[in-house]
Amino acid sequence: MTTSDLPQPAGSPVGGPVPSTTPPTTPTGAGEPLSPQEALRQKRQVDACERAAHALGAPIAPERGVRCPRCGERLCAKGDPVPATCGRCGVEVKSARAGELLVPSAAWTRELLRGAAYLPRGFFRLLRSPSLWKWAVVPLILNIIALGAAFTLAYFINRWLGINTGPGALGSWKDAGGLWWALSYVVQALGWVASWLVWFALPLISTWLIVAFPFGIIYKLVFMPFMELLTESTERVVLGFDENADFDFKRMYVNLILAVIGAIALTLLQGALYLLLLPINVLPFLGSLLWVILPPAIFAGMDYTDINLVRRRYSLREKVRLWRTHEWRFLGYGISFFFLITMPVINIVAIPCAAVGGALLYLELDRK
């Protein structure tokens, strides 16, 4: 990429010369070499400037204009001069600060692992950011209630199994002798195994249904308002905005309506993918496992980052390009969310961690 490919600063027509993005260096003294720490700091600044320049020069949808490398806000339409500073986050768009958060794309294995790391990173960011706690409380309470309901149902099923398959439940079978006597012990053994498995299987099945088609749409609709608040609050923390500033609730309501429409569309696509992958069930065990895991894992990466794109008014075409450009990172994020949501007890933190982690993922994309 040459400098002529990059968007121009304010007042310069697109296609004109671009000033150097390398930050000036200040010598520590005449003839004195830089210390290793200072050399490393300057190298990081140069790298950050190059990442910002790359983000400005290679937007996801050039026909829609250029976005701020730091916050993702649209800077200008196609053909308009690029402003020197972002109107939302206030940084100079070609500065080291504009590119300091960006993480360049790498090999697919690294991208997959990097995407999977956003869930635990979201958890730790949530822990050390008290300003986010108030928005995470309600999702935590709702998940605890759902988990409590699953374990309550498991208790009653366990009790029913104990009454109907316990040692004193099949006395008539044992008295009949012969085959019935043998079957009574088989049923008793199966009931004992089921009474233990129900404590694990029922919460697992119930949480899988939460992310699977078609029940996942209900789960998303319930938690979407809290995800909007959490993702925007996370951006304020990471970008250094005023964390106590009032939210623009009018804009937030519009975002939620658009997010709901997007969630419904993605849920329908997920259902179509289930039908498309139905033939792989002919493969014993592995086929069924992939059929259960792949669709929700693929779409979780899109579902739980979509609110960040809606807030920035991404068109459907822009979203698709973004997901395809960073497909392995989004897939890793979706897989980690799927496995977290299907782990009983631990899954009560899934939604807050997904919201915070999804915001971090978006802010670190080197092409927005």
Which of 83, 102, 121 is the last residue before a domain boundary? 102
Q: Say whether pLDDT at 89 is over 60.
A: yes
Cis? peptide before 104, omega within 30° of 0: no
Q: Are 21 and 49 in contact (CB under 8 A)?
A: yes
pLDDT class of 241 with cuts at 50, 70, 90: confident
User: Is there a single domain that holds both residue 357 and residue 210?
Assistant: yes
Residue 6 CA, distance from chain mean position: 30
Q: Are 172 and 146 in contact (CB under 8 A)?
A: no
Same domain, 227 and 283: yes
Tell whether 262 is covered by a domain. Answer: yes
Whether 234 and 118 map to the same domain: the answer is yes
Q: How confident is the model at residue 1 (pLDDT cuts 50, 70, 90)?
A: very low
Residue 175 and residue 266 share a domain: yes
In this predicted model, what pLDDT tens digit does every residue of 314-344 receive, in sequence order?
Answer: 988 899 899 999 999 999 999 998 888 877 7
Count: domains in the chain: 2
Measured CA to CA, the distance from residue 219 to residue 226 in angstroms comes to: 12
State the distance between the two ends of the chain, measured CA to CA, in whole angstroms. Answer: 17
Mean pLDDT in residue range 204-214: 68
Contacts of 69 (CB under 8 A, 6+ apart): 51, 52, 55, 56, 93, 98, 99, 102, 368
Q: Judge if 86 and 146 occupy the same domain.
A: no
210 and 171 fall within a common domain: yes
Domain presence at residue 141: yes
Asked if 56 contacts 94 with a C-beta cutoff of 8 angstroms, the reply is yes
Predicted confidence at residue 211, as pLDDT, reads: 64
Mean pLDDT of 212-222: 72
Q: What is the CA radius of gyration of the chain?
A: 26
Q: Is the pLDDT of residue 28 over 50?
A: no
Domain boundary, last residue among 102, 120, 149: 102
In a domain, 130, yes or no: yes
What mean pLDDT do residues 50-69 have?
92
Q: Give the Cα separation of 96 and 90 in Å (integer).
A: 13
Unique residue bearing structure tokens 């290679």:
58
Res 87 pLDDT > 50: yes
Structural contact between residues 296 and 212, judged by C-beta atoms closer than 8 angstroms: yes
Q: Which residue has the higher pLDDT, 248 or 363?
A: 363
Question: Is 107 among the domain residues?
Answer: no
- The amino acid at residue 198 is V
Q: What's the mean pLDDT when you consider all of the chain? A: 82
Q: Which residue has the higher pLDDT, 142 or 358?
A: 358
Structure tokens given for 220:
């998303």
Distance CA 27, CA 5 (A): 31
pLDDT tens sequence across 251-285: 778 887 888 787 788 778 777 877 888 888 777 77
Phi and psi angles of residue 103, each rounded to the nearest 5 degrees, phi first: -120, 110
In the chain, pLDDT over 70 holds for what percent of residues?
Answer: 89
Its domain, for residue 47, covers 3-102
Instruction: Give the per-residue pLDDT at 5.
Output: 41
Of 156 and 26, the structure prediction assigns the larger pLDDT to 156
Q: Is 25 domain-assigned?
A: yes
Residue with the bigger pLDDT between 247 and 76: it is 76
pLDDT-wise least confident of 14-18, 25-29, 346-350:
14-18
Q: Both 84 and 205 in a single domain?
A: no
Closest to 50 in 3D by CA, of 74, 21, 90 = 21
Residues 262 and 150 in one domain: yes
> Is 368 domain-assigned?
no
Kindly state whether residue 286 falls inside one of the protein's structural domains: yes
Return the top range by mean pLDDT from 147-151, 216-220, 226-230, 283-287.
226-230
Q: Are residues 89 and 137 in the same domain?
A: no
